[in-house]
Amino acid sequence: MAVFGDKVQALMDEFYTEWQKEENKGKRKWEVLDGFPAAHQIAVVFGNFNYQVENGGIEQWIYNGYFYDDAEKLFEYLEIGAESDERCRTILDRISALDQYAQETECNRYGSYRSPDDEDGDYSFIGDIIDCDAFDKWYYAKCGEDNWWQAVCGIIDKTAEAERGIAEKSSSENLTWGVGNSMFSVFIENAAHPEYGGFTMPLPATREQLQSWLGGLEISEASEVSITDVTSSAERLANAVYSCAYKGPDLEELNYLAAKVRDLSDSEIETLCAVIEAGRHCGSVTELINLTENLGNFELQPAFNAEMLGQHLLDMDAGNHAAGLEKLYGSADEDLHGIIDYIETLEKHFNASEYGKRYAKNENGVFTESGYLTENDAGFKEVYSGTRDIPAEYLVFSAQPAAVRDAEREPLLQRSEDGTASVLDTLRRARENPPEHAAKPEQSEIEEPGLDR
């Protein structure tokens, strides 16, 4: 019977309760567990390992798929524990040996392997080759008592302390920075090392704030950023950003977009979400940034279907002509009274839905959850053309402001007499006067690949 420390058991229960919720049905364990703090991950990894080994030995842990799912995380946390607990070092050595053997023999997730020299292709179980009995006996004797779980709790506390340190460092310069003040938050991982886990980062943020978090994930370049989730109180915006994030946008662009949206009024954000719902100008982060500059081109009216639009238009017309109708009603001319009767008869047979459909079609309008959306003929202006236009305060990896970057780039771009850029002239001058670092090496300096000299 597996025994757990109270703290470990409580953390495991919290995770499994969340995993069993309806919205997580069908998700693999780590799809949900990745969103939990390290404390829960440690508890689940060690708790599952203990339960499997206590019930059926280390072979059961392998056969039930935990070796494939949990080994990398178990390595990470055992390394922390091995600094002060010999039992962690022993387990780490055993799991490392299994991992090395698995890589050499094409081991699958359930511990089945095929030796490279096995021509018939039959698979065997890894436990048939590696004697696990000695490890199991040692584990039963050494890792069932309370002080073992105290050691695991020590790993939990140490990791939680490290997480708090990163969070405190990131917010030390601006205590008001947080999810409550952000337009959206992104969950970021190291693209090359997903085993490091990740952090939810509220945007917009300063370079210093973001660098503190990114440093904790050993991210130093934009290409190392992997965005796996986006959340926002404006759901349409979050979905649009996530769609762009899936295509791999620049974190600096996302940060700048968050700053642009933060400065919008509530009505402007409602219009922004309506435009996104209509599928206009939202195919990239660049388009979304430009959309924030062009919201004046759009108008929302309180109509959510064709009939409501038609009736709304009719009511507007009635309001515009109210004074004229009053004059008709007050006139002593019987012929004018006949016109009033004719208008009232027409109103009774007026098809507001058909009127609304024709009107929407003529001006290319669309019905959204926020109302009837139209775009005027002013033209969509591209104010933002790329990361070079991002103000310095929103840059993360390239700290130079646009003006400085432009100044450094200017000598590389020659101008023709009318002031326009001449690409051909630039290329010609580059060939005629190559920079020193581009000079070709002498023939004797070129080595043939693969030859030892």
The pLDDT, as a whole number, for residue 420 is: 42
Domain boundary among 246, 274, 299: 299
Once rounded to an integer, what is the mean pLDDT over residues 39-43? 89
Residues 27 and 96 in one domain: yes
Q: What is the pLDDT of residues 238-294, one digit of tens each?
A: 888 888 765 566 788 889 999 999 888 888 989 999 999 998 888 888 999 999 999
Residue 379 lies in a domain: no
Residues 345 and 265 in one domain: no
Residues 38 and 140 in one domain: yes
> Which residue would you say has higher pLDDT here, 450 or 226?
226
Tally of domains in the chain: 4
Residues 47 and 148 in one domain: yes
Residue 322 lies in a domain: yes
Residue 92 in contact with residue 78, Cβ under 8 Å?
yes
> Which residue would you say has higher pLDDT here, 149 or 127?
149
Domain boundary among 266, 283, 299: 299
pLDDT band at 414 (very low <50, low <70, confident <90, very high): very low
Of the ranges 38-42, 46-50, 243-247, which one carries the lowest mean pLDDT score?
243-247
The pLDDT, as a whole number, for residue 387 is: 83
Once rounded to an integer, what is the mean pLDDT over residues 216-245? 84
Residue 352 lies in a domain: yes
Q: State the pTM of this model.
A: 0.48
Residues 78 and 197 in one domain: no
Domain boundary among 279, 299, 319: 299
Residue 395 lies in a domain: no
> Which residue would you say has higher pLDDT here, 418 or 277?
277
The pLDDT, as a whole number, for residue 172 is: 42
Residue 303 in contact with residue 360, Cβ under 8 Å?
no
Question: Does residue 295 surpass a pLDDT of 90?
Answer: yes
Once rounded to an integer, what is the mean pLDDT over residues 386-395? 87
Residues 67 and 102 in one domain: yes
Residue 38 lies in a domain: yes
Q: From CA 81, how far away is CA 76, in angstroms rounded?
A: 9
Contact residues for 270 (Cβ-Cβ < 8 A; gap 6+)? 300, 370
Residues 187 and 283 in one domain: yes
Residues 33 and 99 in one domain: yes
Domain that holds residue 211: 173-299
Residues 61 and 146 in one domain: yes
Residue 202 lies in a domain: yes
pLDDT band at 443 (very low <50, low <70, confident <90, very high): very low
Q: What is the pLDDT of residues 74-91, one digit of tens each?
A: 888 888 888 888 888 888
Q: What is the pLDDT of residues 313-367, one digit of tens each?
A: 877 776 555 566 666 666 767 666 666 666 666 666 678 888 889 989 999 999 9
> Which residue would you say has higher pLDDT here, 14 or 243?
14
The pLDDT, as a whole number, for residue 365 is: 92
Residues 184 and 270 in one domain: yes
Residues 26 and 146 in one domain: yes
pLDDT band at 299 (very low <50, low <70, confident <90, very high): very high
Q: What is the pLDDT of residues 178-221, one digit of tens each?
A: 334 457 888 888 888 887 888 888 888 888 888 777 887 888 88
Which has the closest alpha carbon to 233: 210, 261, 257, 213? 261
What mean pLDDT is reported for the chain? Answer: 75
Residues 205 and 292 in one domain: yes
Residue 168 lies in a domain: no
Residue 385 lies in a domain: no
